[in-house]
Each structure stands twice: as structure tokens, then as C-alpha cells.
């Protein structure tokens, strides 16, 4: 009976061990294949890298756009300052032209007045000659103690020459002043641009 018990115990041990192995194979730790997840991880890593590169390019483009906007702003401010300077010079030149026109009108008025005075003097001289002829024909002798008459035509020509030369000098001076302002405007705007770029 003892051997029968030993056989039964041995049988039960093997049976129990086989059930334990079956149970472990069904319920125990399983080895899983993670290979398909690694492919997904690689795809996601590649997408993350591509998105990072795209973001970096976008940030670089934004920085370039900011730099270009700053450059355009500086150019605009420089051009605005230059335009205002040129407009100021043009306004000054208009004033010079107006002053020159006023001076020209004054000189023309003076010339007309001098022409009238010359005509009056010629008429007066003719009257004096006529009176002298009447006196000579009447037999009276009369001497006029007056300074020697001057040539009014020569005086008028001298006045006209002096006036025109003065007008030419004044106009050249005004023109040179206006041109020097215009020449200084680009230098000034260049200096402004240099100062801002430093």
C-alpha cells in the first residue's frame, strides 16, 4: 500500500506541476513584441524634428522681418527729414524769388520815374533854349550863373548799369544761398542716417 501511496503522490505531484506550468503559461508574465511601437516612435521623432526645424525657420523669418521693418522705418525717417529739408529750401527759394520780384518792380518804378524826370529835363532844356533864343532875338543879354549841365542820358545809363549789376549780384547771392542749402540737405540727411546707424 505504501508503494501505491507513493505512486499516487508522485502522480499528483506531476499533475500539480503540469497544471502549475499551464497556469503560468496562461497567466504568468508574457514576453511582448514592442517592435511596432519603435517604428511609431521613430516616425514621431522625425515629425518632432521636422516641426522644430520649421519653427526655427519661422522664428528666423520673423527676426528677418523685424530687421527689414526697422530698416524701412529708418529709411522712411531719413527720407522724411530730407523731404522736409528740401521743402524748407524750396519755401526759402520762393521767398527769394518773391523778394527779387519786389526789388525788380521797385527798380522798374524807379527807372520809369527817372525816364519821366529825364523827359522833363529835356523839355525844360528846350524851354530854356527857346527862352534864350527869344532873349537873343530881343537884344537883351543875359548870363546864367549855373553849373555846367550834365548829360542826363549818361547819368541814366550809369544808374541803369549800377542797378542791373546790383540786381545781378543780389540774385546770384540769393541763388547761391538757396543752392548751398540744397547741397547741404543731402549731407545733413546722410549725417542723420549715419548717426542712426551707429
- pLDDT score, position 92: 93
Return d(Cα 120, Cα 58) in angstroms, integer.
91
Among candidate residues 194, 188, 198, the one with its CA nearest the CA of residue 83: 188
Given a cut of 70, is residue 38 above it in pLDDT? Answer: yes
Are the C-beta atoms of residues 107 and 167 closer than 8 Å to each other? Answer: yes
- pLDDT score, position 135: 79
Q: 64: exposed, middle or buried (C-beta count within 10 Å: 0-12, 13-18, 19+)? A: exposed
- The whole-number average pLDDT for the span 153-162 is 83
Would you place residue 76 in the very low, low, confident or very high pLDDT band (cuts 50, 70, 90)?
Answer: very high
More confidently predicted of 162 and 99: 99
Going from the C-alpha of 82 to that of each of 74, 136, 177, the distances in angstroms are 12, 79, 18
pTM for the full predicted model: 0.37
Given a cut of 70, is residue 185 above it in pLDDT? Answer: no
- The whole-number average pLDDT for the span 163-192 is 68
Instruction: Measure CA 137 to chain center.
Output: 85
Amino acid at each position: 500500500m505504501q508503494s501505491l501511496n507513493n505512486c499516487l503522490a508522485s502522480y499528483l505531484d506531476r499533475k500539480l506541476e503540469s497544471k502549475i506550468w499551464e497556469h503560468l503559461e496562461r497567466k504568468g508574465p508574457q514576453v511582448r513584441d514592442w517592435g511596432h511601437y519603435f517604428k511609431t516612435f521613430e516616425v514621431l521623432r522625425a515629425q518632432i524634428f521636422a516641426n522644430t526645424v520649421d519653427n526655427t525657420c519661422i522664428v528666423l523669418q520673423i527676426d528677418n522681418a523685424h530687421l527689414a521693418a526697422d530698416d524701412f522705418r529708418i529709411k522712411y525717417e531719413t527720407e522724411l527729414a530730407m523731404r522736409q529739408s528740401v521743402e524748407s529750401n524750396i519755401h526759402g527759394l520762393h521767398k527769394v524769388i518773391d523778394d527779387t520780384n519786389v526789388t525788380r518792380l521797385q527798380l522798374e518804378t524807379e527807372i520809369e520815374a527817372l525816364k519821366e524826370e529825364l523827359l522833363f529835363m529835356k523839355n525844360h532844356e528846350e524851354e530854356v533854349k527857346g527862352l534864350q533864343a527869344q532873349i537873343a532875338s530881343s537884344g537883351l543879354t543875359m548870363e546864367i550863373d549855373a553849373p555846367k549841365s550834365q548829360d542826363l542820358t549818361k547819368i541814366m545809363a550809369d544808374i541803369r548799369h549800377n542797378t542791373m549789376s546790383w540786381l545781378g549780384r543780389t540774385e546770384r547771392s540769393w541763388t547761391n544761398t538757396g543752392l548751398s542749402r540744397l547741397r547741404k540737405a543731402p549731407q545733413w540727411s546722410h549725417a542723420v542716417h549715419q548717426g542712426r546707424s551707429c
